[in-house]
Amino acid sequence: MKTTVRGVRSVDIEMSQPERAAEFYGKIWNLTEVERKGGAIWFRGTGAHHHILAIHPARGAAALRRLTFDAASRDVVQALHRKVAASGCTTEAPHEIDAPGGGYGFGFADVEGRNLAVICDVRDHKDTADAPDRPRKIAHVNLNAAQLEKSNAFLVDVLGFRKVDHSGPLHFLHCDNTDHSSMVMGAARTPTLNHVSFEMPDLESCMRGGGRMRDAGYPIEWGPGRHGSGNNVFCYFAGPEEFPIEYTGEVLQIDESYEFHGPDYWKWPPGRLDQWGITPPHTARWKRIQDMVLFTPGEYRL
Ligand SMILES: [Fe+2]
């Protein structure tokens, strides 16, 4: 049994105008609403996960309430819970979850107080065909850590990630799936969200998504381009309430044979920011919003 998570299943966010945000994530970002309850709205992608995004009413500014990792079985959930508890993090016992999609799992506050959760046995969807211009799933989440080494060590030693690349300021962490990385970690003064990345089925969908966002008044803040580490196509945007989001596609698929490379390997010629050499630098707005959204304090219980 691999005592490792299988990737980011879903992201819970808080918006001061949840209805407006829901309109955006349904009609422009191209997710599909699956449930509404108590002022919160749940959305799926075209992939199997019951939902990949939940929007909750915010008590203050826009916030990241929780990241939920997928686990393969109850045995894995219980083994991961033992490791989380042994690490000294605040957690709750694994239990049946009374929320849309159900499942079995636990929440906890990690080494920097982030609300994370691990769940399995969710009532997932059987219709999983790709659709043009519609996101499949969360590709990865990029977090900023105040204690980067400690946060990376937690992801590796406790949740079972493997560091597969280190490029510039970013550390890329792979888990029990074939995607190059499901978590990306960088440094900042406080633990914040850098961005949430949604996986599109192909490059064409990233480009058309970029156009659809521009038409709707959400210009591309960085991209389009193709990253070095991970080889994925990217377009970054400021979503409602300046929430930092990415369309990505063609993520490199890897297995255990993938070899780590460090910053000396991942270097661009002067003035170049991506493989194609076509993206301009990110905007000042992107620079600001990629270190702005905080986790909701204390919301670790599922
Ligand atoms: Fe990204």
Ligand 1 center to 247 CA (angstroms):
8
pLDDT in the model for residue 127: 98
Ligand 1 center to 75 CA (angstroms):
31
Q: Is the pLDDT of residue 35 over 90?
A: yes
Ligand 1 center to 157 CA (angstroms):
23
Identify whether the C-beta of residue 264 lies closer than 8 Å to the C-beta of residue 33.
no
Grouping H, G, I as helix, E, B as strand and the rest as coil, residue 165 is strand
- Phi–psi pair at 79, nearest 5 degrees: -65, -40
How confident is the model over 113-127, as a mean pLDDT?
98
Ligand 1 center to 246 CA (angstroms):
6
Q: Is the pLDDT of residue 59 over 90?
A: no
Ligand 1 center to 130 CA (angstroms):
21
Q: Which of 15, 51, 14, 55 is CA-nearest to residue 32? A: 51
pLDDT in the model for residue 85: 98
Q: Which of 123, 149, 183 is the last residue of a domain?
A: 123
- Mean pLDDT, the chain, whole residue set: 97
Question: What confidence category does residue 110 fall into, taking pLDDT thresholds of 50, 70 and 90?
Answer: very high
Rounded Cα–Cα distance for residues 291 and 302 (Å): 26
The pLDDT tens digits of the residues spanning 145-200 come to 999 999 999 999 999 999 999 999 999 999 999 999 999 999 999 999 999 999 99
The pLDDT tens digits of the residues spanning 124-135 come to 999 999 999 999
| Residue type present at position 284 | A
Residue 45's CATH number: 3.10.180.10
> 280 and 143, same structural domain?
yes
pTM metric for this prediction: 0.98
Identify whether the C-beta of residue 45 lies closer than 8 Å to the C-beta of residue 134.
yes
Which structural domain, as residue segments, surrounds residue 35? 8-123
> 170 and 66, same structural domain?
no
Ligand 1 center to 87 CA (angstroms):
28
Q: Is the pLDDT of residue 10 over 90?
A: yes
> 111 and 196, same structural domain?
no
Q: Is the pLDDT of residue 5 over 90?
A: yes
